[in-house]
Amino acid sequence: MKTSSFVLRLLLLAVSPFLTDCSTLSKKTDAQQSVAAGSATKTAAAADKPVKGAADQIEEEDEYAVEVVDPLQPLNRAMFWFNDGLYTVIVRPISKGYEKVLPKPVRKGIDNVFDNVKFPVRFVNCALQGKFKRAGQETGKFFVNTIGGFGGLLRQSDRIPALADVPAEDLGQTLATWGIGHGPYIVLPLFGPSSLRETVGLAGDYAANPINWGIFWHGGHDWEHDWTMVPPSANTLRLLPSQLATYDDATKDAIDAYLSARSAYIQNRAEAARK
């Protein structure tokens, strides 16, 4: 029983880098929406094209054109569908259970606390990009929410115009600002859409997030310090509903769910780097 519980927590811990706002698919961009809107027309025309030829494949690729190389596409596609199955069989039931057990106001408070604790990630990346004013805003947000928001439970900074709606920064955005390209597109096991650059960014942000520091200090394999797995696992759990919703938005009604997810991810990472 103890072993199965430990395996489940390891699974939650493993997916936590994927289920963070630095690597998420946000709202669809205009281009993504136009792709989804055009899917109905293409589906209707499918009856006249029972067999997809090379020209059809090229046309489909063009619809989801993105500025990223994908030399590992066969392997990436296999991993994409493997992940999709895991989301369906394991992640979705856990997410629905979380939403059912905790009311929305409680979940919102939990989100606020974890977001507040992630302050070092945003502050460091603001500084690395030379956005010192924004780094100051992040510092102000942290103190306002920590002191006036009962440890971050309430986002009091939203009441202050100068501190509200400050774009979050992460290492992937920092590397993009420095002129480092994506490199090859990668679909990571459990983590989902990424690229070589963004994978490095995920690793750096994971290490800079205080939520994960207990694991580095004590080691997650040490049963005496098993408590160190609680914060990362809780962070993963609280992000499941929103991340699954954005995943569904990026793939539903798409001609090719893999290409749609890839396009949405790259477009939104590019948009985040421009802010």
Tens digits of per-residue pLDDT, 1-59? Answer: 444 444 445 444 444 444 444 344 444 434 444 444 344 434 433 344 444 444 444 44
Identify the helix (H) or strand (E) that includes residue 186: strand 185-188
**Overall pTM > 0.95:** no
Q: How confident is the model at residue 97 (pLDDT cuts 50, 70, 90)?
A: very high
Token couple for 74 = 């066969």
Task: List, for residues 161-196, the tens digit of each pLDDT value.
Answer: 999 999 999 999 999 999 999 999 999 988 899 999
| Average pLDDT of the residues in 215-242 | 78
Q: How far apart are CA 104 and CA 164, in angstroms?
A: 22
For the chain, what percent of residues have pLDDT higher than 70?
73
- What is the pLDDT, as a whole number, of residue 225? 61
Dihedral (CA of 67, 73, 75, 77) sign:
positive
Question: Residue 140 pLDDT more than 90?
Answer: yes
Mean pLDDT for the chain overall: 81
Q: How confident is the model at residue 118 (pLDDT cuts 50, 70, 90)?
A: very high
| Average pLDDT of the residues in 228-256 | 90
The set of residues, in sequence order, having a beta carbon less than 8 Å from that of 6 and lying 6+ positions away, is 226
Identify the helix (H) or strand (E) that includes residue 234: helix 230-251
